[in-house]
Amino acid sequence: MSFVQNNFWLIMIAVTAAFMLVWPSISRRVSGVGEVQPAEAVQKINREDALVLDVREDNEYRAGHIPNARHIPLSQLASRLSELEKFKDRPIVVNCRSGARSASACGTLSKAGFNVFNLRGGIIAWEQASLPVEK
């Protein structure tokens, strides 16, 4: 017990760090938004006719994107949701550069009733998996 009393702040820092490491995983499960690796995304595209939605900015998209990806920057997503209504019956794989902006977009789309999946690692992971990119 004296160890805990003498090292209270050290223990609190360790507990806080552990919580911060597991929080992203917990929040994704609670939100109901799934994550897919690049290979899983390819399967969804090929087997389930998933739509790929790229939420990066225009210059990032022009530098290289997943083939046949639909482009709506995250800053415009809320005002352009109507463009995606016809895809409500299909899964949507959302990507950005690393997966952070697309996670935010997934939250918006999920609340609007879409079946969404965040591409874990974004276009960086896609390229590292040696998957095709269009320019």
Is 106 catalytic? The answer is no
Q: For residue 95, is it left (φ>0), alpha (ψ between -120 and 50) or beta?
A: beta
Pick the closest to residue 123 from 73, 65, 78 (CA basis): 65
Q: From residue 71, give the alpha-carbon distance in Å to each of 33, 35, 51, 56, 129.
A: 20, 19, 11, 8, 21
Classify residue 38 by burial, with Cβ atoms within 10 Å: 0-12, 13-18, 19+: buried
For residue 98, give the DSSP letter. S
Q: Which among 77, 96, 106, 119 is annotated as catalytic? A: 96
Question: Which residues are tagged catalytic?
Answer: 96
